[in-house]
A and B are shown apart, each in its own frame.
Chain A
Amino acid sequence: MSETAVFEEGRLGRIAVVRIRPNEDLVMAVEAACREHGLSRAVVRSAVGSLVDAALEAGDRVIEVPGPGIEILTLAGEVRCDAEGAPRADLRGTIADGKAQVYGGRFRRGANPICITLELVLQEWLPARPADD
């Protein structure tokens, strides 16, 4: 019988104050920041920034929004490690393009270059017991 809910007890730990410079991919840069600074699990606490162009996953669709100057309106998500121990970011949110049209979805890895900046605050998630991820 499969479990219908899996709990992980834990608490929030260290806070990373991060800036990502232009032309870096949003998802890969968040993963690189975690890898380079030893964060294996983290949650997004706040993020403000912009993208050159955006690609958002919504179900089986990929919503491609041309920029430049796409505003990231909200960003939420977490970082966990994959089977090889590499940090993987699952980031979701809303954006607005230059025509003030709003879109939402999951940020596609390797397809969301930062335009001017991303100001990001990540907080480490510390499980009380070793986690399986």
Chain B
Amino acid sequence: MRTLTQPGAPLQPRLLVEWAAPAEDLRVRLSAGQDLLCGLVTALASRGVDHAAVQVIAADIARMAYLTGAEDPSGARVATYGPPSHLEGPVTLLGANGILGPGPDGDTLLHCHAVVVDAAGRLHGGHLPPGDCLLGAGGAVALVTPLRDAAFAVAYDSETNYPLFQPRKIPA
């Protein structure tokens, strides 16, 4: 198994674990014409949910962009994102996992990766940048697990030289 030398010294522990309190899951349906990620963040905020694990079960997409990984030519990090790939709809989402929590500026961020199939039957997938996934006629359905007592919040990670979601206790 190949490993890579990160820009910063390895941090301990290698596994970070916090315990969140069980909560009622939420099924949420988004209507057409809105952005998948921004729509989910706004809808969940209206229910007071700003920390969650998200499974997108279904989405019909009119147009979207996604990012895949690449080596970082600057050497500042071991990997970065390449230029965006754009897809014109109808695109059918097959699955997506997301983590919802406060981002580097405190605004709620949904970090989401998705696998989709385009109108010609080709598979695509990657990181979804916010604001670039317009829902088509069928909208979207997501299953949301709100996280209480502990959740993810973005903090700078000196090992990878990235701001990353880290498990954190949430003060009551």
Interface, chain A (partner B; CB < 8 A): 12-25, 29, 32-33, 36-37, 45-48, 50, 52-53, 67-75, 94-100, 102, 110-113, 115-117, 119, 121, 123
Contacts and interface: CB of A to CB of B under 8 A. Distances in A.
Given A98-B82, A100-B85, A102-B115, A70 B22 contact: no
A19 B151 CA distance: 11
B14 A50 contact: no
B99 A119 contact: yes
B117 to A, nearest CB: 9
Secondary structure of the A side of the interface?
Answer: strand
B79 A121 contact: no
A38 to B, nearest CB: 11
A13 B145 CA distance: 12
Given A23-B6, A117-B160, 15 more contacts: A15-B147, A16-B17, A21-B16, A22-B4, A22-B6, A48-B112, A73-B113, A94-B94, A94-B125, A96-B126, A97-B69, A100-B68, A113-B3, A115-B69, A119-B152
Interface of B: 1-4, 6, 10-11, 14-23, 53-55, 66, 68-71, 77-82, 85, 94-99, 111-115, 123-127, 145, 147, 150-152, 157, 159-160, 162, 164-167
13 contacts: A14-B20, A15-B147, A18-B16, A23-B6, A45-B55, A52-B2, A94-B94, A110-B1, A117-B157, A117-B164, A119-B99, A121-B145, A123-B22
A48 B99 contact: yes
Contacts of A102: 115, 123-125
A121 B144 CA distance: 12
Contacts of B159: 21-22
Nearest to A24: B14
A116 B167 contact: no
A68 B69 contact: yes
B36 to A, nearest CB: 15
A48 B150 CA distance: 17
B17 A36 contact: yes
Contacts of B162: 116-117
A112 B20 CA distance: 27
Given A69-B80, A94-B115, A116-B162, A121 B4 contact: no
A71 B113 contact: yes
Given A21-B159, A46-B145, A52-B4, A15 B21 contact: yes
Contacts of A37: 17
A24 B69 contact: no
B79 A69 contact: yes
